[in-house]
Chain A
Amino acid sequence: GEDVEQSLFLSVREGDSSVINCTYTDSSSTYLYWYKQEPGAGLQLLTYIFSNMDMKQDQRLTVLLNKKDKHLSLRIADTQTGDSAIYFCAQNRGSTLGRLYFGRGTQLTVWP
Chain B
Amino acid sequence: DVKVTQSSRYLVKRTGEKVFLECVQDMDHENMFWYRQDPGLGLRLIYFSYDVKMKEKGDIPEGYSVSREKKERFSLILESASTNQTSMYLCASSRGPAQETQYFGPGTRLLVL
When the two chains form their complex, are residues B42 and A103 in contact, meaning their CB atoms are under 8 A apart?
Answer: yes
Q: Number of contacts between A and B (CB, 8 Å)?
A: 59
B27 — which chain A residues lie within 8 A by C-beta?
Answer: none
Indicate whether A97 sits within 8 Å of B106 (C-beta atoms), given known contacts A45-B101, A102-B43, A103-B42. Answer: no
The count of residues in chain B whose C-beta lies closer than 8 Å to any C-beta of chain A is: 29
When the two chains form their complex, are residues A92 and B106 in contact, meaning their CB atoms are under 8 A apart?
Answer: no
**Which residue from A40, A41, A98, A102 sits with its C-beta under 8 Å from B42?**
A102
When the two chains form their complex, are residues A97 and B56 in contact, meaning their CB atoms are under 8 A apart?
Answer: yes
A105 — which chain B residues lie within 8 A by C-beta?
Answer: 42-43
When the two chains form their complex, are residues A98 and B105 in contact, meaning their CB atoms are under 8 A apart?
Answer: no
List A76-112 residues whose CB lies under 8 Å from chain B: 88, 90, 92, 97-100, 102-105
Separation of A40 and B88 alpha carbons in the complex (Å):
9
Separation of A33 and B103 alpha carbons in the complex (Å):
12
Decide if B74 is an interface residue (CB 8 Å cutoff): no
Indicate whether A97 sits within 8 Å of B101 (C-beta atoms), given known contacts A41-B107, A42-B90, A42-B107. Answer: no
When the two chains form their complex, are residues B107 and A100 in contact, meaning their CB atoms are under 8 A apart?
Answer: no
Separation of A88 and B41 alpha carbons in the complex (Å):
12
A40 — which chain B residues lie within 8 A by C-beta?
Answer: 107, 109
**Which residue from B50, B58, B107 sits with its C-beta under 8 Å from A98?**
B50
When the two chains form their complex, are residues B101 and A31 in contact, meaning their CB atoms are under 8 A apart?
Answer: yes
When the two chains form their complex, are residues A98 and B30 in contact, meaning their CB atoms are under 8 A apart?
Answer: yes
Decide if B102 is an interface residue (CB 8 Å cutoff): yes
Decide if A55 is an interface residue (CB 8 Å cutoff): no
**Which residue from B40, B48, B103, B109 sits with its C-beta under 8 Å from A97?**
B48
When the two chains form their complex, are residues B94 and A98 in contact, meaning their CB atoms are under 8 A apart?
Answer: yes
A35 — which chain B residues lie within 8 A by C-beta?
Answer: 104
Q: Which residues of B contact A (CB under 8 A)?
A: 4, 30-31, 33, 40-43, 45, 48, 50, 56, 58, 90, 92, 94, 96-107, 109
Q: Which residues of A contact B (CB under 8 A)?
A: 8, 30-31, 33, 35, 40-45, 48, 88, 90, 92, 97-100, 102-105
Nearest first, the 3 closest Cβ-Cβ pairs linking A and B are A104-B42, A42-B104, A43-B104
